[in-house]
Amino acid sequence: MKSPRRSAGGTGDGPAAGNDYTIDVLTRTVQVLRALSGATRPLQLTEIAAAAQTTSSTAFRILWNLERAGLADRSSGEGYALGPLALVLGASYGAQNVLVNRGRPLVDHLRDETGETSALVIRDGALRFCLYHAESRQAVRRSLTLGPLGELWRGAAGRLLFANLPPAERAAVLSLYPQAGQDDANLVATHENGVVSAMRDTSADIWSVAAPVRLPDGQVIAAVACTGPIQRCDQRHLQHCQVLTAAAAQTLSAAIVGTPR
Spatial distance between the Cα atoms of 179 and 154, rounded to a whole number of angstroms: 11
**Phi, psi torsion values for 193, nearest 5 degrees:** 65, 15
DSSP state at residue 233? -
Spatial distance between the Cα atoms of 136 and 123, rounded to a whole number of angstroms: 23
Q: Which residues of 199-214 are buried (b: 16+ CB within 10 A; e: fewer)?
A: bebbeeebbbbbbbbb
CATH architecture entry for 15-89: Orthogonal Bundle (1.10)
pLDDT of residue 185: 54
Q: Where in the chain is the domain with CATH 1.10.10.10?
A: 15-89
CATH architecture entry for 97-256: 2-Layer Sandwich (3.30)
pLDDT of residue 2: 43
pTM value is: 0.72
* Those residues with Cβ within 8 angstroms of residue 3's Cβ, 6 or more apart along the chain or in another chain: none
Q: Average pLDDT per run of 10 along the chain, which is 261 residues long?
A: 45 52 87 86 93 92 93 89 86 77 95 96 89 93 87 90 88 83 61 82 89 92 95 91 95 78 45
Spatial distance between the Cα atoms of 42 and 186, rounded to a whole number of angstroms: 40
Spatial distance between the Cα atoms of 226 and 77, rounded to a whole number of angstroms: 39
pLDDT of residue 86: 86
Q: Where in the chain is the domain with CATH 3.30.450.40?
A: 97-256
Q: Quick check: 241 and 227 in contact, CB under 8 A?
A: no
